[in-house]
Amino acid sequence: MDEQHQKQKNKYSIIVPTYNERLNISLILYLIFKHLQGVDFEVIVVDDGSPDGTQDVVKQLQQVYGEDRILLRARPRKMGLGPAYIHGMKHASGNFVVIMDADLSHHPKYLPGFLRKQLETGADIVTGTRYVKGGGVHGWNLMRKLTSRGANVLAQTLLWPGVSDLTGSFRLYKKSALEDIISCCVSKGYVFQMEMIVRASRKGYHIEEVPITFVDRVYGSSKLGGSEIVEYLKGLVYLLMTT
């Protein structure tokens, strides 16, 4: 079956977890619709009770794009990233699931490349990577780059997952693969992305990579602090002992 025909058969559910992303959400949704013209997709916004009015903006956008294209599936409070994806997946009608951040660090212009790579290779997972030719990071200071790179190299050395960017969270999954992997994951927060890809690799899923440039968030503050780095190291040790 040719790629075009296959793409028409596929439906993509894009899960976007949000917390206080009022300034970013309309732009990210606009860009998703702009870059995925002619593709069957829905966006599932999982908002964790943002006090800044994120949900009001999403409701206004539903009037523009349709409630069948933008699904608002809110939760009462902040309950972690892993549970946000599980919550979003319950409402996903696509056979593929894309997970991406709402803060514009993941540019929707890369989505067609993800879809194309999956169609060409039949991959179970396509993940965006900052660490191969054509990828990179924009707007980070040296310390942040070193921390991210160091965390990644450490994980590579200890876990050998065969993927160059473990902590990235811009990914396309076959829904069945995502359901299987997520059911094994125990971490919360920052380590969760790494656990997902390590478990996927251990289970023998076919993983492909697409170079992306990660842009530091445009509005709002980054969620990565000292406690998250400690969490990361604890998670790394846990994965080392259990996978």
| In a domain? residue 98 | yes
**In this structure, what DSSP letter does residue 214 have?**
E
Q: How far apart are CA 229 and CA 191, in angstroms?
A: 9
Q: Cβ distance 115 to 35 under 8 Å?
A: no
CA distance 23 to 29: 12
| 224 closest CA partner among 165, 143, 156, 163 | 143
The CATH number of whichever domain residue 51 belongs to comes to 3.90.550.10
Quote the longest CA-to-CA distance of the chain: 49
Residue 148 resides in a domain: no
Q: On the CB side of 91, how many CA atoms lie within 13 Å of its CA? A: 21
8 Å CB contact between 197 and 159: no
- Render each residue's pLDDT in the chain as its tens digit; 243 residues: 565 666 568 999 999 999 999 989 999 999 999 999 999 999 999 999 999 999 999 999 999 999 999 999 999 998 888 889 999 999 999 999 999 999 888 899 999 999 999 999 999 999 998 777 666 666 667 666 666 667 666 766 666 656 777 777 899 999 999 999 998 888 776 678 888 988 999 899 999 999 998 776 555 555 555 665 666 677 777 777 777
Domain residue limits at 83: 12-141+164-183+206-219
Burial class of residue 113 (count of CB atoms within 10 Å of its CB; 0-12, 13-18, 19+): middle
Contacts of 136 (CB under 8 A, 6+ apart): 130, 213, 214
Q: How many domains does the chain have?
A: 1
- Structural domain includes residue 238: no
Answer yes or no: is 194 within a domain. no
Cα–Cα separations (whole angstroms), residue 77 to 51, 55, 186, 215, 221: 10, 13, 20, 27, 18
94 within some domain: yes
Is residue 7 assigned to a domain? no
Tell me the two tokens of residue 8.
């028409």
Q: Is residue 234 part of a domain?
A: no
3-state secondary structure 103-150: CCCCCHHHHHHHHHHHHHHCCCEEEEECCCCCCEEECCCHHHHHHHHH
> What is the per-residue pLDDT for 170?
92
User: H or E stretch including 34?
Assistant: helix 22-35
